[in-house]
A and B are shown apart, each in its own frame.
Chain A
Amino acid sequence: AQSVAQPEDQVNVAEGNPLTVKCTYSVSGNPYLFWYVQYPNRGLQFLLKYITGDNLVKGSYGFEAEFNKSQTSFHLKKPSALVSDSALYFCAVRDRYDTGRRALTFGSGTRLQVQP
């Protein structure tokens, strides 16, 4: 079984400061990892993904994430937060070898609040 943990329900950061949203995962094989953002009453918007290759992945809106296999982590980062980044962020995982099911398992979500 695969699972995702987002240990922080909420992260507060001041505008202009760096932000980190934490994610750890568990899969039986190798993972595909994703970050999505959700604004109120909206669907999920794709931010970035790790499939293979470089461990540092750059995505939309200046976000990046680093795949760390030994720590089974995929933390989301941004060097300088914007107020408009305030939203709900979801980390998701899929087992690379789960070619049949192909569904994503989501973490519980972390609400990012950026103060002006």
Chain B
Amino acid sequence: GAVVSQHPSWVICKSGTSVKIECRSLDFQATTMFWYRQFPKQSLMLMATSNEGSKATYEQGVEKDKFLINHASLTLSTLTVTSAHPEDSSFYICSANPGVVTSSYNEQFFGPGTRLTVL
């Protein structure tokens, strides 16, 4: 159980285009999802916290208009990189937290990541 999927697993796009990345919790409901960004050989940096039915909370320095997050249902959050540029190339990882208080309440379950390359 507790599987999180991401789609696509990799994407290459031209500069100026927008890219949407989906994060799905397959077998549990996730009231909260998190989006992280990882540069090569570096740690994960939290970009934003996505709460179902409400606006995302962005970390300092993350552009809200650049990285659009939508959490329309308890099993799906999307990250859209708008007008992508080469500096947006990175590995984007989502995680999901079960909303129900269970033994897994304090855990985050991570997706496999999406590698974005902007030419």
Contact = CB atoms under 8 A, between A and B. Distances in A.
Interface of A: 32, 34, 36, 41-46, 49, 51, 90, 94, 101-109
Query: What are the 6 A-B residue pairs with the smallest beta carbon separation, nearest first?
Result: A43-B112, A44-B110, A43-B110, A43-B113, A108-B43, A106-B43
A53 B44 CA distance: 28
Interface string B36-73: 00000111101001000000010000000000000000
A32 B94 CA distance: 20
Contacts, number: 51
Interface of B: 4, 6, 32, 34, 41-44, 46, 49, 57, 91, 93, 95, 97, 106-113, 115
A97 to B, nearest CB: 12
B42 to A, nearest CB: 7
Contacts of A49: 106-107
Given A41-B113, A43-B112, A90-B44, A51 B106 contact: yes
